[in-house]
A and B are shown apart, each in its own frame.
Chain A
């Protein structure tokens, strides 16, 4: 007859937490790899318009961003409420776009330069005048690949 060695009352063994750090590190590495640090502070408020036929930007690292919109409330005393252009970290004018694009081109590798996309993040309430000016300036600097930033619209009405 087999003897099972039962020692008095059953104790639930404490769960081993030795693998917890491993799990946490795994999640940590996922976020470290997938994260892209926010490089610029937004100085303008941008609510991009809605669209249904949007395409994803494939190479995020090859994008240059131009923000257009009204300055954030704390800057309105200085810059007014009219729509302004933000490049990198400062308010700029249309004439600065040429230098901005040239500088952005320099940061990309030579092979990828032709695929650089200029992403225009404009508020839905800005007037086309400022956008047209930007477009003309981009044509002059031959940065022809552009993207009008838009967010996915709800397709509740069929299409």
Chain B
């Protein structure tokens, strides 16, 4: 004898769904991972260690951070806020000063010849430097490069670097490389 099948009351489905929803709301993490992206230099080969590329003195800007977070850039003590302008002046060398880095004419694919600066910023720190100060300095240096890139993009393409398409971004990157080298750690006056 077939009994008529009663329809299941679906009224509580909403409650169940809400329960699940609240669970996922609780466990979800919405934090975006963001930070300063860097590429470390590869470890030098032990066999051919003494094959260092000699970089001309004028092409290096040495930025040092000491144990008490004092900043020394290009031989001058300075505040972090001044570092950006120092780095920009160093990388741009607008007056072709002999004490600032030389430029090399490179042919950039899709753009043509451009005077690319050979300047390298070398960042050195001791073991006692605080991480906060280190990131602050890294940030200023990246900001200097980004501002130069924006200017270059504005002049040549009429847009900011971030608004350009991939190919043009590559051109800008080739024209203004981000040469920030993190030197081999030196044990100078360190507290462990």
Give residues in A with beta carbon < 8 Å to B: 17-18, 20-21, 24-25, 27-28, 31-32, 34-38, 48-57, 60, 63, 117, 119, 122-129, 131-132, 135-136, 138-140, 142, 144-152, 159
Main SS of chain A's interface residues?
A: mixed
Q: Can you report 29 residue pairs joining A to B where beta carbons are below 8 Å apart?
A: A20-B14, A24-B14, A25-B17, A28-B20, A31-B24, A36-B29, A37-B27, A49-B131, A52-B143, A54-B36, A55-B35, A55-B37, A56-B33, A57-B34, A57-B35, A119-B33, A124-B132, A124-B135, A126-B130, A127-B130, A128-B126, A128-B129, A135-B40, A138-B40, A139-B40, A145-B40, A146-B37, A147-B38, A148-B135
Point out the residues of chain B lying under 8 angstroms from A140, CB to CB: 43
Q: Is the CB of A144 within 8 A of B134?
A: no
With the chains together, A147 CA to B38 CA distance in Å?
Answer: 6
By the criterion of a CB under 8 Å from any partner CB, how many residues of chain B are at the interface?
A: 47
Q: Is the CB of A53 within 8 A of B142?
A: yes
B130-144 interface bits toward A, Cβ cutoff 8 Å, 1 = contact, 0 = none: 111011101100110
B86-99 interface bits toward A, Cβ cutoff 8 Å, 1 = contact, 0 = none: 00000000000000
Q: Is the CB of A139 within 8 A of B131?
A: no
B28 close to A (CB within 8 Å) = yes
Contacts A24-B14, A35-B27, A139-B43; is A128 near B37 (CB within 8 Å)? no
User: Which of B32, B37, B127 is the one whose CB lies under 8 Å from A147?
Assistant: B37
Report the minimum CB–CB distance from B142 to chain A (whole Å).
Answer: 4
Across the interface, name the chain B residue whose C-beta is closest to A31: B24
B177 close to A (CB within 8 Å) = no
Q: Is the CB of B131 within 8 A of A28?
A: no
Point out the residues of chain A lying under 8 angstroms from B27, CB to CB: 35, 37-38
B82 close to A (CB within 8 Å) = no
Q: Is the CB of B33 within 8 A of A63?
A: yes
Across the interface, name the chain A residue whose C-beta is closest to B30: A34
Q: Is the CB of A148 within 8 A of B138?
A: yes
Q: Is the CB of A146 within 8 A of B40?
A: yes
User: Which of A31, A56, A117 is the one whose CB lies under 8 Å from B32?
Assistant: A56
Q: Is the CB of A145 within 8 A of B36?
A: no
Point out the residues of chain B lying under 8 angstroms from A148, CB to CB: 35-36, 38, 135, 138
Contacts A128-B130, A150-B135; is A17 near B14 (CB within 8 Å)? yes
Across the interface, name the chain A residue whose C-beta is closest to B17: A24
Report the minimum CB–CB distance from A90 to chain B (whole Å).
Answer: 21
User: Which of B24, B36, B130 is the one whose CB lies under 8 Å from A53?
Assistant: B36
B25 close to A (CB within 8 Å) = yes
Q: Is the CB of A21 within 8 A of B185?
A: no
Contacts A122-B131, A128-B127; is A152 near B40 (CB within 8 Å)? no
Report the minimum CB–CB distance from B140 to chain A (whole Å).
Answer: 9
With the chains together, A56 CA to B33 CA distance in Å?
Answer: 6
Instruction: Kindly identify, within residues 1 to 28 of chain B, every residue whose CB is under 8 Å from any CB belonging to chain A.
Output: 10-11, 13-14, 17-18, 20-21, 24-25, 27-28
Point out the residues of chain B lying under 8 angstroms from A56, CB to CB: 32-34
Q: Is the CB of A117 within 8 A of B37?
A: yes
Q: Is the CB of B21 within 8 A of A24?
A: yes
With the chains together, A52 CA to B146 CA distance in Å?
Answer: 11
Point out the residues of chain A lying under 8 angstroms from B139, CB to CB: 51-53, 150
